[in-house]
Amino acid sequence: GTVIGLGTGSTAAFAVERVGQKLKSGELKDIIAVPTSIRTKEQAESLGIPLATLDTHSDLDVAIDGADEVDPGLNLVKGGGGALFREKIVEMCAEKFIVIVDESKMCDGLGPGFPVPVEIVPFCHEHTMRQIGKLPALVGCKPVLRLGDVSNNKADGDKPAVTDNGNYIVDLVFTEPIKDPVAAGKQLKDTVGVVDHGLFTGMTTAVIIAGKDGITVKEA
């Protein structure tokens, strides 16, 4: 059967709903889905979509998700909804990674339009935030600890937001575009205390863009 990765967030939720409808109508048959968050898992279960994890199904035919920003090279910022680690581990395993956005998410350079989320371990998180702020490829960024509800980057509480993995999220606020997203991602990943980050570089197969004049598709 076909194995599909199901993303997390408002756009991905519509895609999950469509998969559920097509299964029910018989248009889709013999599929297994791998969800990228507890929220998506619960939604898929409620729609009767058969689920698995990467532990049993490591090779996905396709993954479908939204994004918070898309640059001209189809590099992404993701993780506004707090599920960036699970999204990345699942979407890395997909033969095709299809991203669905509205045209407001298209940008000339990643960073200024949407803070870059980074998942970090709670232990000594203030130290880790300081280390992130000193990385050469991230010069000028302001690390902000996400508070309240993990599924958005608004400060809607006074306690640190906690991911499905029990970690914290730091949102990196930029005034200038990140010059080299690949180097930025590598330096973040090499920082002890960082679990993963919301820069998804070189992963996208195609972006489906909903605009005022209809749908356009950009392929990598």
Helices and strands in the chain, H and E counts:
5, 13
Q: Is residue 190 within 8 Å of residue 175, measured between CB atoms?
A: no
Question: How wide is the angle at C-alpha 120 spanned by C-alphas 179 and 150, nearest 5°?
Answer: 95
Which entry of 17, 42, 45, 87 is annotated as an active-site residue?
87
Is there a catalytic annotation at residue 87?
A: yes
Task: Concatenate the DSSP letters of all residues of 68-108 into one string.
Answer: SEE-TT--EE--TTS-HHHHHHHHTTEEEEEEEEEGGGB-S
- The residues with which 199 forms a beta bridge, in sequence order, are 77
Residues designated catalytic:
87
